[in-house]
Amino acid sequence: MTLLLPRRHLSLILLAASAAGSMDRPALAQDFPNRPIRLIVPFAAGGGVDATGRIIAEHLGAALGQTVVVDNRAGAGGAIGVDAMAKSPPDGYTIAMASPGNMTAGPAVRPTPYDPMSLGFITRAVRSPLLLVCRRDLPARDLADFVALLHRQPEAIRYASGGVGTGQHLAGALLNLRIGARMTHVPYRGTGPAMADLIAGNVDIHFGDTSVWPAAQQGQVRLLAVSSKARWSEAPEVPSVGDAVPDFDIANWYGVVAPPETPVAVRGLLHAAIAKLLAKPEVVDLLRRIGFEPGPLPPAEFAAFVRAEAETWAGVVRTAGIRAD
């Protein structure tokens, strides 16, 4: 069932979101939105960011009574798409999907043309572990075998990621640090192309987002472990990397951001609408099918979360000596 928010309800959300700062309530916010919204997905189609973005776009459009158009702009670990969004007018009509690759892990590796902390934070949307998957014929049947293989051949493994500076890239770098391996990083322009080469056997492993779960279920790749200390509800029998590797605990997340100086009122309205749709049973079901759990955070809490994670990844990058290509 489609849920439409009445205009009077949207107005109340606007007023509540901007109560702390009435100077940030320009006239443009009073009838927002009155035309289509563009949601930039800064990765190629086929990955978890894209799947999450399309679910949000469809249901957000229905909630706001306006079309939300998905615009895939891949490259530079997600920075190209976010930069395009950041340079758009700060009116709420161009927003983008945020991820570790374009907000925390990526900027720790190489400067971005935008300051992540200057963006207009709307909400964290979903969270999940990363899934450590390998090619079907890798001579490692489980996590213990894989760790033993890394000890025997520390330079032989090639690990794919969705791009330099993505959380997938730094997960592999952290694994190298924790066990003294020297896996070779092979970056792609998103999870989709990385998985295609893994399935083809051209690379060995991939710390993928949970969009790789169907490929594991179909036997195209083998799921060795999850990145978070907590077991994953979809496959509780699968171990955590941390079961065999000390101090390894990584979570994945995606959110939504707007250009700098986007009005508090507009961001508040978008946060409220997205948080509401993320609570709908049909949306929760869609997200769980691709391995994600709703995890909305209000704009201020989302900003604090991003700042803390950025500091963590900056430490990993310094210790590992990672540099941009």
Q: What is the CATH number of the domain that holds 53?
A: 3.40.190.150
265 domain-assigned: yes
Domain end position, chosen among 195, 214, 243 = 243
198 and 136 share one domain = yes
Give CA 320 to chain center in angstroms: 22
Euclidean distance between CA atoms 204 and 182, whole angstroms: 13
pLDDT for the residue numbered 7: 44
pLDDT for the residue numbered 28: 52
2 domain-assigned: no
276 and 314 share one domain = yes
305 domain-assigned: yes
Q: Which residues constitute the domain of residue 47?
A: 7-127+252-320
91 domain-assigned: yes
231 and 299 share one domain = no
1 domain-assigned: no
274 and 233 share one domain = no
CATH of residue 226's domain is: 3.40.190.10
191 and 285 share one domain = no
259 and 165 share one domain = no
109 and 145 share one domain = no
Domain end position, chosen among 225, 243, 261 = 243
pLDDT for the residue numbered 189: 81
DSSP collapsed to 3 states, the chain: CCCCCCHHHHHHHHHHHCCCCHHHCCHHHHHCCCCCEEEEECCCCCCHHHHHHHHHHHHHHHHHCCCEEEEECCCHHHHHHHHHHHCCCCCCCEEEEECHHHHCHHHHHCCCCCCHHHCEEEEEEEEECCEEEEECCCCCCCHHHHHHHHHHCCCCCEEEECCCCCHHHHHHHHHHHHHCCCCEEEECCCHHHHHHHHHCCCCCEEEECHHHHHHHHCCCEEEEEECCCCCCCCCCCCCEHHHCCCCCCCCEEEEEEECCCCCHHHHHHHHHHHHHHHCCHHHHHHHHHCCCEEEEECHHHHHHHHHHHHHHHHHHHHHHCCCCC
Domain end position, chosen among 214, 243, 272 = 243
pLDDT for the residue numbered 20: 39
pLDDT for the residue numbered 19: 42
Identify which of 282, 266, 230 has the alpha carbon closest to the alpha carbon of residue 24: 266
15 domain-assigned: yes
pLDDT for the residue numbered 89: 98
123 and 262 share one domain = yes
Mean pLDDT of each 10-residue bin along the chain, 325 residues long: 42 43 48 96 89 97 96 90 98 96 90 96 96 96 94 93 86 93 91 93 94 92 95 92 92 96 97 97 93 94 96 90 78
204 and 272 share one domain = no
Give the strand pairing for 158-161 and 205-208.
parallel
pLDDT for the residue numbered 238: 96
325 domain-assigned: no
Q: Which residues contact 314 (CB under 8 A, 6 or more apart)?
A: 108
227 domain-assigned: yes
Give the total number of structural domains in the chain: 2
